[in-house]
Amino acid sequence: MKLTHHCVYIYLCLLFTVSLQAETHVSGIISQNTRWTAGKGPYVIMNDIEIATTCRLTIEAGTVVLIGKPIVYDTAIVQYDYTDTHMVAIKIKGMISCIGKPNKRITFRPASTDPSSPTWYGIVFDRSFDDLSEMAFVDITGACFGITAKACKPLIRNTVIERNNVGLNCEAGGSMRIYNTVITQNFTCGIKITKANPTIINSIIAFNRNNGIWSDGVSLFSCTYSCFYGNADGNCIDCDPALGALVKINTKDSKNPPRDQFFNIFADPIFSGSSADSISKERDIRTPTTITQVLNPAIAKLLHQKQPDSESKKDAKITGRFVLSTYSPCINTGSTNGKFNNADGSRNTMGITGGSGF
């Protein structure tokens, strides 16, 4: 019996050790080139991280980063404001290569499973190296500012910025390049622009709790071939008056939704599985009547035999969050610039599934 108890004790110790090894705690200044891998994750950050000017942090596809509340104040890392002193931030003064894959996205989210408000400060590009700073196929949620750029032009593409206070914060010359990104359900605004000139292309800015883009009224930013919809207090605040001013179109053509002179469209992006997707299917006269809707059993059997499998197979291929429905007006309506073409060579599709990686 003593041996049995001893074996159980050893087993529990080993189990506890394995559980400890299942996550990696990081904090402080990263002063040498560093790589984070999915296998060593999740990475748990309880205090500020700063990537030093001469260093690069590489985050591999599929990696999960969890951010908690700070344990102690880190005096070695400069704090930007009062909020920053009470929240964890990831500050990039050097370089970051944070590139996931469509089926292995990189995630930054609060360690708390259900935070009622933003619990971390966000990712800050502070005069980082433009050509060597990129985030792609990344999901960022639960931050005060999802991504902030100061005096640099990081590339943000195929990324989801969701349920932050401010989604993307461009300030003091922080002119992000925002391509094929979904910016949704952020509280104050999707994108905030102050003395900066970001470039926004092929992106979806929808369902934010207040504003889509909130500018300072003087910044000369560019927003083209993007989709705006359902931003509760307005799509564009203090922006160029032409941004959002609709041009005349054939309003009877459902495939040609309202747009402005910058080729931005103003219509529901229709994500797969959404209520708009269901309504579109019901209204589609090309969709075969389902067997359960046919009262005559003989006709239902005949319909089942003749109904092609293509429809069900086509829907089965649509997986993942923020994937567009086949009814979406954002499909093949992005930029006509060839460098943004989809993998099959077709015109760019707005949102995270568009483009070929450029």
* Of 264, 177, 276, 189, the residue nearest 228 (C-alpha): 264
Strands 56-59 and 95-99: parallel
Enumerate residues 6+ apart whose C-beta is below 8 A from 22: none
Q: Please give the chain's pLDDT, 358 residues, in tens.
A: 444 555 444 444 444 444 444 688 988 999 999 999 999 989 999 999 999 998 999 999 999 999 988 766 667 888 888 888 889 999 999 999 999 999 999 999 999 876 667 889 999 999 888 677 899 999 999 999 999 999 999 999 999 999 999 999 999 999 999 999 999 999 999 999 999 999 999 999 999 999 999 999 999 899 999 999 999 999 999 998 989 888 866 555 556 788 999 999 999 999 988 888 788 777 766 665 555 555 666 655 665 555 554 443 344 344 568 999 999 999 999 999 999 999 999 999 999 999 986 6
Tokens 């499973």 correspond to 113
288, two tokens: 């075969």
pTM above 0.85, yes or no: no
User: Is residue 67 a contact partner of residue 41, using CB atoms and an 8 Å limit?
Assistant: no
| Pairwise CA distance, residues 103 & 139, whole Å | 12
User: pLDDT tens digits, residue range 322-342?
Assistant: 999 999 999 999 999 999 999
Residue 254 near residue 266, CB atoms below 8 Å: no
